[in-house]
Amino acid sequence: MSTTPVILHLRAETKPLEHRAALTPTTTKQLIDAGFQIFVEESSQSIFKSEEYEKVGATIVPEGSWPNAPKERIIIGLKELPENETFPLVHEHIQFAHCYKDQGGWKDVLKRFPEGKGTLYDLEFLENDQGRRVAAFGYYAGFAGAAIGVSDWAFKQTHPDSENLPGVEAYPNEDALLVDIKKDLAAALAVNGGKYPTGLVIGALGRCGSGAVDLFKKVGIPDANIIKWDMKETAPGGPFKEIVESDIFVNCIYLSQPIPPFVNYETLNVPDRKLRTIVDVSADTTNPHNPIPVYTIATVFNDPTVPVETKVGPKLSVCSIDHLPSLLPREASEFFSRDLLPSLLLLPQRNTAPVWVRAKQLFDKHVARLS
């Protein structure tokens, strides 16, 4: 093994409202203890303060300084680089790049790496020997989505249909979020005779679904009111009347092939529908296989829901925010970074460690498609 330490440079995130970080002070300390050198950019957006990193031994550098950093540094971040930047990339990069599935503009994103002789290790495709992602934000996506779901259902109990759920902002921690959601729920129970909502979660056995179920439990919704579905329950094929008979529906599965829809306008347009809130955590708005084909808008934190255009029954809304874990940036980052740590510790052997070799091979494969 090389005696030269691996040098990681944590770049500041630039995507609006992105408060998460790929490295936390906790994982930074563990990496430094393992012999890594860590540079951390100052960040105007991060939930973590520069002093938290400095305290554990990281070197703080100016925000946005990574392009001029020495070539031997590995640049690590979360979200994609700004689209208006086109200069060649000379470093090794660890990030979500969103350019391996023929997304719009993928060639422009990817070509910057070979142009600068840089390398991309895409976080979405860092997988273990079983083909499972080594780190994902799924748990807190489900947790945050269910929180907005409960808040929206409660809002409908206490406000007229002419009003939509107001915007939400990132919370400093999970406890602060739970205080607010419990308060919303208590206000709703005070006016509806103490009747708790029923929440149905599809994909309940996965990371995302377990997060949604945990949120329901932590805000005090009785277990009897939490319906947990997974592949077994959805195998017969939708639409499912059980969804329409629930108050809150949280979809935690991403589909890559068409299946019958879970709900459609026909099943929703019934006078005895209970369903008031749909949270589509997959937020697969433009996918033709979307199993919830009753909305077309990706919602955002400052306008978290969009009404479904039903003709019968009570008001129904969808939340389809595509970066839900940002509602709890500290916990989501800690959760993700902790899962990523074992792979990061293998970076000194990245030319032979399977998790990094596979990521490099995938990069090479897609670069070959550019020509």
The residues assigned a catalytic role are 79, 98
Residue (of 16, 12, 17, 49) closest to 327 by Cα position: 17
The token pair at 54 is 């400095």
Rounded Cα distance, 212 and 202, in Å: 10
> Where in the chain does DSSP place strands (E)?
7-10, 37-41, 59-61, 74-76, 92-95, 119-122, 199-202, 226-229, 248-251, 277-280, 306-307, 317-319
Rounded Cα distance, 182 and 220, in Å: 8
Rounded Cα distance, 226 and 94, in Å: 38
Rounded Cα distance, 316 and 161, in Å: 9
CB neighbours (10 Å) of residue 73?
17
Rounded Cα distance, 305 and 148, in Å: 9
Residue (of 79, 152, 119) closest to 303 by Cα position: 152
